[in-house]
Amino acid sequence: MEETGTCRYVAGALGPTNRTLSISPSVERPDFRNISFDELVDAYSEQARGLLDGGVDVLLVETIFDTLNSKAALYGIQLLFEKEYKEVPVFISGTIVDKSGRTLSGQTSEAFVISVSHVKPVCIGLNCALGATEMRPYIEAIGTSTSSFVICYPNAGLPNTFGDYDETPEVMAEQIASFAKDGLVNIVGGCCGTTPEHIKAISEAVSQCKPRVPPEEVLNGYMLLSGLEAMHIGPYTNFINIGERCNVAGSRKFCKLIKNGQYEEALSIAKLQVENGAQILDINMDEGMLDGPPAMTKFVNLIASEPDIAKVPLCIDSSNFAVVEAGLKCAQGKCIVNSISLKEGVRDFVEKARIIKCHGAAVVVMAFDEEGQATETERKVAICRRSYNILVKEVKFNQNDIIFDPNILTIATGIEEHNRYGITFVEATQLIKETLPGARVSGGVSNFSFAFRGMETVREAMHSVFLYHAIKAGLDMGIVNAGCLPVYVDIEPKLLELCENLLWNKDPDGTEKLLLYAQGLSKDPKKAVVSDEWRKKPVEERLEYSLVKGIDKHIIEDTAEARISDCYPRPLNVIEGPLMKGMSIVGDLFGAGKMFLPQVIKSARVMKKAVGYLIPYMEEEKAARMKLEGIKDFELISSYVGTVVLATVKGDVHDIGKNIVGVVLGCNNYKVIDLGVMTPCEKILETAIKERADIVGLSGLITPSLDEMIHVAKEMQRIGMNLPLLIGGATTSKTHTAVRIAPRYTSATVHVLDASKSVVVCSALMDKILKEEFLEDISDEYEEIREDHYDSLKDRRYLSIDRARSKGLKLNWRTEPVPVPPSFLGIKQFEDYDLTLLVPYIDWKPFFDVWQLRGKYPNRGYPKIFNDKAVGEEAKKVFDDAQAMLYNSINDKLLTAKGVIGFYLAQSVGDDIEIYDDSEMHIETLHGLRQQAEKESASDEPYLCLSDFIAPRGSGVTDYIGMFAVSCFGVNEMCKKFEQQFDDYNIIMVKALADRLAEAFAEEMHERVRKEFWSYSQEECLAAADLHKIKYEGIRPAPGYPSQPDHTEKTIMWRLLEPDKLGIQLTESLAMDPAASVSGLYFANPKSSYFAVGKITKDQVVDYANRKKDDVDTVEKWLGPMLAYDAEAD
């Protein structure tokens, strides 16, 4: 401090050690570890003590190649802070070992963040192993996954063949500076191969960059779990299947294998559950003849050696807390603990909860207390509420990490009071979800039907009925063998009625009736209910049945029968017809909660088998077509309609839908490059560029895939790609695409409902004539969807105006291009402007809208509307009449145009823009409004105000602003003439034409401003259609419109421009007269963009009124539709 005048801090580094808790050092013994969790905790604690005694300001747990090692370090640090030392900030830095984007122990960067975020690190990021260039996508992934600051200190490139690092300080500094400029990082530095010269160059390169602004929350309201991969459980996540078969108390086979020491065979049961759709894996070792802790340790260690199992989060399940701890000490991901309760009193409950919190796990809380198990709705809810308050208020447990099990108890036992157990669980579930924010609800589903053990058909039907209703009430997850559940709508009607009556206690004789039904099913009830009646139906119905039921036994023979049928002349027709129809039904049932993920996966396997059978026939057909058309193999590439890159995004392994799309496109002569599953963003983009793709298609089934798709879209935007982006998959939707993805990518983004639509979409995108119209149609539709979506958000949250300002657009004015000065300062008037110059700039689409003539795709807009069957003929008549009136009006000078433009020195001051004359005297102030409606938690979009586009006062940068007002005169005189003739048609016509001329005047003048009067875009060469689509640089927003909805700002423009002298006046309500007038501001900043301020809150209104020196009531009057509150109520 004395020498440099700059405050310096010391970070005490805790390295990774030369041991690993997640990987065995012995190939022969995958469960073996050469160090224990407790030993690592002791080692890290000793090191942390030394650093803290030495006076470090920060503890930096770094170079983490195994997350479990870091969890041991963090566990020890938490204990030190709790018992011995004053808390200091904790930084965490992981290590991605190669371009797979994973740590050495196999975790993705997001899973790593979730696993260690329980300690609320001040900073989290990456170091070592990679150079800056290779590290970028993973640092970006870290940033989107955390509300902490981000640290990044890569190596000086990748090592050469001798293990040395060749990257120069200048090259490395430039790369890291790009991170900083893009707002990805807060702390930067260097690791292996870097020298003091590297650090100096990096420091200088980022010295003028604004630090990353962390999001306030990431995935607000979500439960975040992890195995090797991340898992998000949010408000719209489908029911989560917790696999139940790795439970010694619930699976005889598993229990036998474990007791016989056949752990690796037992591992196959775990793997099969994950393959069949278990999203979380329950592990229970509670058996009288088992030593629980060692058994749990061995099995969880073995799971770590199997990536196909370890990718999902674990649920460590035991009534013995020592077994729970043993499991937690072996799991690098964020687990669930099942369970704790108030059964042994508050002290025991709090102690266990604190340990679980220290390990960073979520917790299941049973509805037990000191008095025993709750059976009635009120007591279930009361115990859960009491537990919740202790956890949240005393233990400071994250409310989103709390799961309640309100006790799924057995019904139909013959004891009358048990008959309401299903009802009380459903009621309690609904009340818990309504009254305990963030909490989830789970349960062991098999308990419900235990009275019918041995009668599997009945039990499975009971489970399906129970889940159908419990999920509607709010059940989030359950321990269930979901792969054996029948589809709710397929349960035999009599059995369904009996199960419904039992659940809702509608029939006092329900138990006896169900028993009687079960006894009539024979000893092997599963075989008894199997019927081959469906085999007698038409082939289309048989295919549909096979797909919905997940039966592959007859799929090949049925597909073959369809292929040779006259109804399907091409193999592709079978896919597009009955197979797609069947999968569509599967999708609908899944979406309605009547099918579960394991059942969907079975259906997908059947589909895959059918498509696999058809592929050789489609290839044969393609070869025959090539031969007929004389196309040689080497000529094939030039014969393709286009090249499409398809990928299932990172974190998702589901690909049946994508594969079908690939087959369908391939059969329609597209070159398809399928990158498979789990595809990192950078691989998708690299392939698209390398292969010169025409279209990129992204697919995904699980909810986190939606966020990855957003990331891909943002990266495509960042690197300047302009390829159409197709979005598809079970969890995707047109609404999500329109609201979340399309705004992140300025090029075409289209949701594709299913494979049958892919050819239609791709064909439209590849057709130079149809493409523009198709995308315009999509753009309009998505804009309507966005408006409807945001209008429907009754409980939309808003940032305070101060917080919104802190998250505004932050430009580095020292590195931005120097603003170009206009050719003059002051105003320039135009009288009797040549109307013939404006005609080419007319946008005719709004003209047809006036007459309510709207063509449908592909005949929307001018001139294609003339081809529309419904309105084309009438549109042509109206257009011809317009042309005649337009040219008569110009030739006879019935209509004239006048306008004025002005340019001024300008500087922003907060949300205002101060305007100066050419002597730099302050003459006026334009006032701005800023966006306040809270954006998505993962969004890094700024909260915009028009002042963001003007250099701030004190920045040392001279900036400018322009403004204009243009008008078309003569309308009133023409209308009076037509009124005398009672000619309403021509009255509407002349007004519509005048509006078009005024808008064309604004468009033409703006072009002249860019190229001539301001000259900041002299090389621009755009057609009128491109001008209408705003493909130019700069904007011309107007007061009263979305970017500044306050009409009173026009008065400031009128004082400066003096349009009144030309006859362009403002009415009392601040409308322009003549009505065919356009006015606005000119911004030249290349980063300027149109936006909607949206709703604003009282704090901004009060602030705005003070800045305008106006009273709040007046401001509220003018901004009425924009208020996010009831002004009269206040």
Distance CA 970, CA 895 (A): 5
Which listed residue (318, 339, 449, 705) is catalytic?
Answer: 705
Cβ within 8 Å of residue 155, ≥6 positions away = 128, 129, 130, 131, 165, 167, 190, 191, 192, 193, 194
DSSP letters, 417-454, are: GGGGHHHHHHHHHHHHHHHSTT-EE--BGGGGGGGGTT
Query: How far is Cα 168 from Cα 172, in angstroms, rounded to an integer?
Result: 6
Residue from 359, 654, 751, 1006 carrying the catalytic annotation: 654
Token look-up 């509805």 returns: 367
What are the CA-CA distances from residue 907 to residues 350, 898, 904, 1058 (Å)? 57, 29, 10, 22
User: How is 260-326 classified by DSSP, letter by letter?
Assistant: TT-HHHHHHHHHHHHHTT-SEEEEE---TTS-HHHHHHHHHHHHHT-HHHHTSPEEEE-SSHHHHHH
The Cα angle at residue 980 between residues 977 and 982, in degrees rounded to 5: 110
| Pair 71, 359: CB distance under 8 Å | yes
Tokens of 246: 């790795």
Q: Is 142 helix (H, G, I), strand (E, B) or coil?
A: helix
Q: Which of 31, 401, 652, 754 is catalytic?
A: 652
Residue carrying structure tokens 């009802």 = 423
Catalytic, 654? Answer yes
Tokens 């409902």: give the residue.
753
Residue found by looking up tokens 């003849």 in the block: 289
What stretch of H or E contains 879? Answer: helix 872-891
Contact between residue 1029 and residue 862 where contact means Cβ atoms under 8 Å apart: no
Give residues with Cβ within 8 angstroms of 922, minimum separation 6.
Answer: 914, 915, 916
* CB-CB contact of 556 with 605 (8 Å): no
Give the pairing type, strands 187-188 and 223-226.
unpaired
Instruction: State the residue for tokens 């299941």.
Output: 364
C-beta neighbour count of 452 within 10 angstroms:
22
Q: Are 279 and 240 in contact (CB under 8 A)?
A: yes
Nearest of 331, 337, 263, 267 to residue 295 by alpha carbon = 263
3-state helix, strand, coil in the chain (%, to 5): 50, 15, 40
Q: What are residue 479's DSSP bridge partners?
A: 242, 444
Strand, coil or helix: 460: helix
Q: How many CB atoms lie within 10 A of CB 866?
A: 15
Q: Which two structure tokens, joined as six digits, stand for 872?
A: 């084309």
Strands laid side by side in the 123-131 sheet: 11-14, 58-64, 90-94, 123-131, 149-155, 187-188
Active site residues: 652, 654, 705
